[in-house]
Amino acid sequence: MPVVLWINIVVFITISTSFGICFRDYVNYEDNLDIPAIAKYFTTKGRYEEVNPHLIKDILAVNTSILPLPSAQCQPFHLTAIIRHGTRYPTSKNAKKMQKLYELVMSSASGKESWLREIKSKWRMWYTEDMDGRLVQKGVEDHKHLAIRLSKLFPSLISEEKLRGGFIKFMTSSKHRCVNSTLSFKAGLTELWAITDKEFDHEVNDALMRFFDHCTRFVQEVDQNPTALSEVDKFRQGPEMRRVTEKIADSLRVPYNTIDDDMAEAAFYLCAYEFAIKTVNSPWCQLFDEVDAQVMEYANDLKQFWKRGYGYDINSKSSCILFHDVFSRLNRTAVENKSGQQVTEAVTVQVGHAETLLPLLTLLGFFKNNGSITSTNYATQTQRSFRTSHMLPYAANLLLVLYDCGAGELRLQALLNENPVTFPGLSDQQASMPLYEDVKENYRELLQGCDFETECQLFKSPA
């Protein structure tokens, strides 16, 4: 049966430290043999549970104490949630790389190690090109569970009454993995409240959720520019990566020239996908120790930094259209709340990609290092704040919550992956939930400018 059809069936059945953030890391990977020791370095291929390890024991656990309110009067009246799609299959490009590595191991690798015997005698390459990034069952569950947790964190906003009343809006990228994630999020709520008599619409909007495709300057100067990622290329050909590829070649007993950086990445992804999709500690993981995994993580962080993050100004400016969409909605709901009207959009769920979230987080100033991360400063970047393993696992989410604290006082709280974050540039004692007016002042230049059409014009001089 074709993979595409299988995915549709699965979805159909299922649906009938820095910037004030603390990443909890108390799982003992050595004691839990089901979890690869290197799982916390899987970057954008990582599980959401590695960012929030308490979910390993209880996937629906929430801790409302992480939402400290300045006063008991503060009540939320709007939530915008920008969410990455759930766990997915490899893209066609990565499936090809993994197939090439598998064929090399099957034809040329030798040794008596148990993990290698397992690969050669039991493991079979089951990833195919037609899977091409489609949502897997774990991805369906990622969004269903997230929906339920958010309904527990914000019960007055994400409620059956609000959903039935049309006060919860859904928007998605046109990509199948995002549409199916959106359907799964809705299913989490309808199944929670046993709603069978009504369906809820969603809007497909690539202009907002795939803005990067529509920003000509980004496409020309970064995405399709072969020199834009020169720092990534230099690192992948540098001494740190060479040590990793040579160790893999030694483990497989194959010539050094057969294992390049693409092969190392394929092995790393095989370990990551097996774990994310099937919760299996794959024998492929034995090709890497923690030091190797840190190098692989850095290589991907470099790519994200230069292609979607702080490397080039247009990376973040390409998200101006989404930035203005978010703040115009916050302003609109703030006005409705202040005037005593019913807030027409209590919750907005916008499902996109890692490439949707990272430019927006960058535009807002989160996770900014002192200086760039480059091909030559790996050794000094072990404590970097720009770390995609923490920021962008599957189902990563940025939550912006507006509160009415009485006497006309409105406050805005930001959470990343359900953990409070402090807005960069705001240092007062209540920076985790600052006055909404202070947030707008903090981003005044962006609110007054940051015009998508202007920024994305090709003739604009590079910053």
Catalytic residue among 85, 145, 176, 353: 85
Distance between terminal CA atoms of the chain?
A: 50
Exposed, middle or buried, 83 (CB in 10 Å: 0-12/13-18/19+)?
A: buried
Sign of CA dihedral 244, 247, 252, 257: positive
- Three-state SS at 4: helix
The token pair at 36 is 């690869």
Who's near 30: CB < 8 A, 6+ residues apart? Answer: 37
Who's near 447: CB < 8 A, 6+ residues apart? Answer: 324, 327, 440
Nearest alpha carbon to residue 318 among 285, 282, 355, 265 = 355
Half-sphere exposure of 241 (CA within 13 A, CB side): 23
Chain centre distance of CA 279:
19
| 85 in active site | yes
E strands, 360-456, where? Answer: 397-404, 410-416, 419-421
Residue pair 275/42 in contact (Cβ under 8 Å)? The answer is: yes
Rounded distance between C-alpha atoms, residue 178 and residue 190, angstroms: 18
Contacts of the segment 64-67: beta carbons below 8 A, 24+ positions apart? 64/152, 64/153, 66/418, 66/419, 66/420, 67/153, 67/413, 67/420
Please report which residue ranges of 91-136 form alpha helices under DSSP H. 92-108, 114-121
Residues marked active site are found at 85
